Structure 1
Amino acid sequence: MVKADLVLKNGKIATVDQNFNYVEAVAVRDGWIIDRGTGAEMEAYIGPDTKVIDAGGKLVLPGANDSHMHAVHTGYTLSPAFLDFSGPSYDCMEKILSKVKDACAKAGPGEWVFGCGFVDGNIKELAAEGRIMNRYDLDPVSPDTPVVLTDFSLHSMVCNSKALEVAGIDKHYPEIPASVGMIDRDESGEPVGRFHEWGAQNILCEKCPILSDTELEEAIRNVQRALNKEGVTSHTDILGEGGEHVFRGTWGTRPIEIYEKMAERGELTARVSVNVFSAIQGAESYDAIIRGTDRIRLPEFKDRNWVKADAVKFFVDLGGPTWQRKGVRPEGSFVTAWGLEEEELIQEVQRTIIELHRMGWQVCIHSCGGGSMDACVEGFARANRLYPGKDLRHFLIHCDDTTKELAAKMVKNGVLAAIQPTAANIVFGWNTPVLTDKEEIFDYQAYTDMGAILTGGSDSTCFSMNWRQGMQFCLTRTTADGYCARPDLAMNREDAVRLYTINGAYQEHMEHVRGSIEVNKVADFQILDKDIMTCPATEIGSANVVMTICNGKVVYEA
């Protein structure tokens, strides 16, 4: 009998196959699963060179998938020089400015200081004055060093006066189209250092030194190590021309090439599916997206089990549900990334979807509010009618304002929902009052029972990469700060696990090779220190990963 390279035994191994079966052991050869079953059955595969891992009775799951994140950017934020302002502790300007001042003191000539994570509304001085952070807040501690900070959503960036000076942006800088973004100005037309959306951020950061290839490689290693610690063995990334200068090049085109080179050298510890941000200069319009897509040039992916790029991404909503349905939309609140009136916007978004579908691209769209989701799903329906027979598996990202009616239409048209339960865990209380179904929002189990394919992501760097925290929210519908709504709509554990495993593989057209523990699939596993299939639901988020295996090799061990 052929001997295995690896045998994982004595585990409670959840296969996440069609019946969600459990087995005791699994045998692996050349990175692929060759058998599974009882411990006694797998003993026959153990030879003198076989690595044997005893799971000690612990729960074993397929490696997790993060279906929506900004990976290279996240890896950059994990570098020592980057300033992290996330979390409730950053509730006053003094705490932020102290950190900025120290970083400026350490910065060398020509270096910029970067950070992210702050929430304007959580900073007491700003909340008291009813405003957001601007350049004048940062200037006193950073007179000579360019400083750029991004809020927790990433959609809004603040800089100091030095950064504006280096970028050549002053009151004479021309106004930019709404489809590119917005540069905030005072009454005299002077920029106040606040830039909204990617096109505007590209303009500011074009003069900023971007990361070298070596630094980008290190960012990828950083994020994949962090993901492996959370049991993640496959993830997405959003990269392309639309983010060429954003976040020091971590959203640009070069990381796609670097992923492929690292894969060829066997240096990746998680598999990557790139969603291409093709919009020229980050502008959200039919012309910018389609022309940018026409000039996409991708490397020859030698092993698509490791790196591939089949999807084009664009944005419709801004940072949150800014295009709501008319029935729940507050007066004067309608705003989108395209800067068009609603009827024209619907036509342009749907025209873009149809053309990308015709071209054969999987389409993924940042869509949060109900008006946005309705328009996009109808665009996918029209695309299917005009050009049928394409199994492209288009998906919406975020999907905050899903209703059962819309979920049924998504099922009918094969549209997936890339949701972020770890984000819902934070924004549930904020969103409940402004969305269509109020306290019935995020009814993931109902959508699943209707046949919808939901996938779980983190939206890192915005939210935690700990997928168990997302699963806990799915089961408890209770946020970290104790807000709870309709716990009777809780998701069952098997479907919550599927969000982060087989469903993510399906979104990436890879369900035939990963996402479950079955023969002839890749050997990607995670071992947990707690049985999240039986423990109290309130303890799922605190479960730790004790080992992660990718391609039959241990890539993380606690």
Structure 2
Amino acid sequence: MSSPADLVVTGGRIWTQDPGRPWAEALAVRDGKIVAVGSAAEAEAFTGPDTQVHDAGGAMIMPGLIDGHVHLNLGGSQAAFELPLAPTDDLDTILGRIGEWAAGLGPDAWVVGGIVGSTVLDGLADAAVLARLDEASGGRPVLLRDDSMHNRWVNSRALALMGVGPASADPDGGRYVRDGNGCLTGVLHESASAEAEAAFTRSITDVQARTDTAVATAIETLNSYGVTSAQEAATMLGSARALAALEASGGLNARVVLSMPVRPFLEDGLVGEELIAEVAELRGELVRPDFVKIVMDGVPMTRTTALLSPYRCGHGAEPTQGEMYWTLDDLVAQLKRCAELGLGAKLHATGDASARRVLDAAERLRNETASGIRLQIAHAEFVHPDDVPRFAEVNVVADLSPYIWYPSVIQDSIAEQVEPGLVESSWPMRDLVDSGAVVAAGSDWPCAAPTPDPWTGLETLVTRRNPDERFPGTLNPKQELTLEEAIAAFTSNPADALGIGDIAGRLAPGCSADFIVLDRNLFEIDPRDIHATRVQRTYFAGRLVHENPDGKASCAELTP
């Protein structure tokens, strides 16, 4: 007999994500890696006197999910410390929640929370509404984040702490939104949001301790949804240090690929090569600083996404096609520098114009160098049909955002700004997959939704419908994927996109034993019920890192 396994799981319906053997009934784990996947007899051959054996009781088992785009510090801070708001909450509900939350705080404590839906934010450009926010907070400073995480709503006390007054000029790349009389409303767009975040950060006694707690909370939250690997989408030094400390203590129950911003954006701190050098010293087996983050444009809700055609007329707005933050030559130079450093690049590009610029730069990079660095377009929402096949041609991954590709609050706001034809053709996943592109999903938590729950995103890849009946209809339904393709977008595809496909995203001998036990078989239910899926157990490197207290009976421990 081969050396005994530490763990054998049998009696399951195991979706391996291995095309050579898609289904199995048992697996064996030794030293955190899979040593056998197949029949019960194949796995039980590894059973020894000290082997733990679990009977899955017919439950579906699949690879641990991979979140290809998440903000651990922001999401974990929201979960651990901040006022929770739903993007569907209306203004009166938000103000009421602020009043309740503020009542338990000291007179100078900040009220920080989210998510404010874009449709609500659209209606806040009125100084009279700012006065209501001031009253609700009882004079305490307020900082609320929207569902794009690009914009904020603050009150008068916060504006004063930011040093912003009626005569303040807008910052480069941002805006202090004013009403028709020129009065500040407290709404902040893009880089103006960074000033609010910096003012709040100055109020924190121990920023690193808070970050440590936030990041640990984020990892626990991801594990509870079955996520065992992730790409941190904009990694500042504090988050990197928190992850490295967790790994050093043995408490990091996920594999995390980092993406360091090359220019200042929404969080204060080191960026560029200073940050890259600092974070490189923190590399571990699980903490992998392998990417940079490049922001090409803004978001469509504030008309800062770079489009090939103009935004809708009306709303008193000036004609615009959005903003592009990089010239082609500058972007090519930055990508060549990434290649010299051996780093991939995650590029935020929400518009068809910004996506085209990334593809143009990628084409020049591939033609002018021998570089094979990994490139991703994050939020490939609007893609011109001529550019769809170019993703595969120049080897650029489409990093997609589950909570935006079906009818929702965000889509309602986008539809107010972007021409209907462009909205109706958005998120062309079917076309991208058929063209040979790698399509990978990432929650973008805490953007768009209050949790990183992947099951809604997986369902809506197949249905293009919102499970919430308040948002009827479909969004570009011809772009639906099959269930198998949707699962790949949450497992093997992001693993390959992150450079960890040899160890994660599949259940095969030699891979890390990252797997999850579900409360239902995804292949035997109506796809419109996938969002209700619950993870009963999450294993990372063969260790049980999450167990649903209501689902213990689904995986009974047996004596060998």
TM-score, scaled relative to structure 2: 0.87
Name the CA shift for 1:333/1:483 in 2 (closer, same or farther; >3 Å): farther
User: Are 1:213 and 2:231 counterparts?
Assistant: no
Percent of aligned positions that are identical: 24
Q: Which one of the candidate residues 320, 325, 328 is aligned to 1:333?
A: 320
Q: Which one of the candidate residues 415, 422, 428 is aligned to 1:443?
A: 428
Q: Match of 1:243?
A: none
Name the CA shift for 1:429/1:146 in 2 (closer, same or farther; >3 Å): closer
Shift of 1:452: 0.4
Name the CA shift for 1:429/1:478 in 2 (closer, same or farther; >3 Å): farther
Residue deviations 1:59-95 (CA, integer Å, cap 9, x gap): 111000000111221111112x41122142x22x332
Q: Which one of the candidate residues 362, 367, 371 is aligned to 1:385?
A: 367
SS at match of 1:106: coil
Q: Match of 2:117?
A: 119
SS at match of 2:509: coil
Q: Which one of the candidate residues 293, 297, 300 is aligned to 1:317?
A: 297
Q: Which one of the candidate residues 531, 538, 542 is aligned to 1:552?
A: 542
User: Are 1:204 and 2:207 counterparts?
Assistant: no
Q: Match of 1:22?
A: 23
Q: Match of 1:270?
A: 254
Asked if 1 retains the 8 angstrom alpha-carbon contact of 2:537 and 2:546, the reply is yes
User: Are 1:434 and 2:419 counterparts?
Assistant: yes
Asked if 2 retains the 8 angstrom alpha-carbon contact of 1:134 and 1:194, the reply is no
User: Are 1:148 and 2:148 counterparts?
Assistant: no
Q: Match of 1:405?
A: 386
What is the 5 A alignment of 1:72-151? Answer: 72-79=73-80, 81-88=81-88, 90-91=89-90, 93-108=91-106, 110-119=108-117, 121-122=119-120, 127=123, 135-151=130-146
Distance 1:403 1:528 in 2: 38
Asked if 1 retains the 8 angstrom alpha-carbon contact of 2:366 and 2:372, the reply is no
Name the CA shift for 1:362/1:319 in 2 (closer, same or farther; >3 Å): same
Shift of 1:174: 4.7
Shift of 1:438: 5.2
User: Are 1:370 and 2:370 counterparts?
Assistant: no
Distance 1:142 1:469 in 2: 34
Shift of 1:230: 1.0
Q: Match of 2:466?
A: 479
Asked if 1 retains the 8 angstrom alpha-carbon contact of 2:36 and 2:42, the reply is no
SS at match of 1:65: strand
Distance 1:511 1:223 in 2: 23
User: Are 1:360 and 2:360 counterparts?
Assistant: no
Q: Which amino acid aligns with 1:224?
A: I
Residue deviations 1:499-546 (CA, integer Å, cap 9, x gap): 000111111111011110011110000111111123211111112111
Distance 2:128 2:385 in 1: 39
Name the CA shift for 1:434/1:393 in 2 (closer, same or farther; >3 Å): farther
Asked if 2 retains the 8 angstrom alpha-carbon contact of 1:468 and 1:543, the reply is yes
User: Are 1:490 and 2:490 counterparts?
Assistant: no
Name the CA shift for 1:133/1:186 in 2 (closer, same or farther; >3 Å): closer
Name the CA shift for 1:413/1:84 in 2 (closer, same or farther; >3 Å): same
Name the CA shift for 1:301/1:167 in 2 (closer, same or farther; >3 Å): closer
Name the CA shift for 1:188/1:403 in 2 (closer, same or farther; >3 Å): closer
User: Are 1:237 and 2:232 counterparts?
Assistant: yes
Shift of 1:461: 0.7
What is the 5 A alignment of 1:285-296? Answer: 292-293=272-273, 296=276
Asked if 2 retains the 8 angstrom alpha-carbon contact of 1:115 and 1:150, the reply is yes
Q: Match of 2:12?
A: 11
Shift of 1:431: 5.4
Residue deviations 1:417-470 (CA, integer Å, cap 9, x gap): 110123213355665763766544333233112210011111111224222211
Q: Which amino acid aligns with 1:59?
A: M
Distance 2:364 2:294 in 1: 18
Q: Match of 1:195?
A: 188
Q: Match of 2:154?
A: 159
Q: Which amino acid aligns with 1:262?
A: L
Distance 1:420 1:20 in 2: 29
Q: May I ask how many residue pairs the two structures share in their alignment?
A: 527
SS at match of 2:405: helix
Distance 2:364 2:128 in 1: 43
Distance 2:423 2:456 in 1: 22
Distance 2:157 2:125 in 1: 25
SS at match of 1:68: strand
Using the TM superposition, name which of 163-172 and 530-539 deviates more. 163-172
Asked if 1 retains the 8 angstrom alpha-carbon contact of 2:63 and 2:515, the reply is yes
Q: Match of 1:396?
A: 377
TM-score, scaled relative to structure 1: 0.87
Distance 1:234 1:441 in 2: 28
Name the CA shift for 1:316/1:14 in 2 (closer, same or farther; >3 Å): same
Distance 1:159 1:69 in 2: 24
**Structure having greater relative contact order (Cα 8 Å, sep ≥ 6):** 2
Distance 2:96 2:475 in 1: 38
Shift of 1:194: 2.4
Asked if 2 retains the 8 angstrom alpha-carbon contact of 1:116 and 1:149, the reply is yes
Shift of 1:134: 5.7
Name the CA shift for 1:84/1:458 in 2 (closer, same or farther; >3 Å): same
Shift of 1:323: 3.8
5+ residue gaps in structure 1?
A: 241-251, 339-343
Distance 1:511 1:435 in 2: 38
User: Are 1:452 and 2:437 counterparts?
Assistant: yes
Using the TM superposition, name which of 479-488 and 272-281 deviates more. 479-488
SS at match of 1:150: strand
Q: Which amino acid aligns with 2:61?
A: V
Asked if 1 retains the 8 angstrom alpha-carbon contact of 2:143 and 2:196, the reply is no
Shift of 1:3: 0.7
Using the TM superposition, name which of 455-464 and 393-402 deviates more. 455-464
Distance 2:423 2:194 in 1: 36
Name the CA shift for 1:431/1:163 in 2 (closer, same or farther; >3 Å): closer
Q: Which one of the candidate residues 308, 320, 324 is aligned to 2:288?
A: 308
Distance 1:317 1:483 in 2: 29
Name the CA shift for 1:436/1:454 in 2 (closer, same or farther; >3 Å): farther
Q: Match of 1:184?
A: 177
Shift of 1:553: 0.7
Asked if 1 retains the 8 angstrom alpha-carbon contact of 2:8 and 2:52, the reply is yes
Asked if 2 retains the 8 angstrom alpha-carbon contact of 1:377 and 1:409, the reply is yes
Shift of 1:6: 0.8
Using the TM superposition, name which of 508-517 and 427-436 deviates more. 427-436
SS at match of 2:445: coil
Name the CA shift for 1:159/1:322 in 2 (closer, same or farther; >3 Å): closer
Residue deviations 1:195-229 (CA, integer Å, cap 9, x gap): 211x3223233232245333322212222222112
Asked if 1 retains the 8 angstrom alpha-carbon contact of 2:309 and 2:321, the reply is no
Name the CA shift for 1:183/1:489 in 2 (closer, same or farther; >3 Å): closer
Distance 1:37 1:358 in 2: 43
Shift of 1:322: 4.2
Asked if 2 retains the 8 angstrom alpha-carbon contact of 1:71 and 1:236, the reply is no
Shift of 1:38: 0.7
Distance 2:120 2:219 in 1: 30
Name the CA shift for 1:379/1:294 in 2 (closer, same or farther; >3 Å): farther
5+ residue gaps in structure 2?
A: 314-318, 549-560
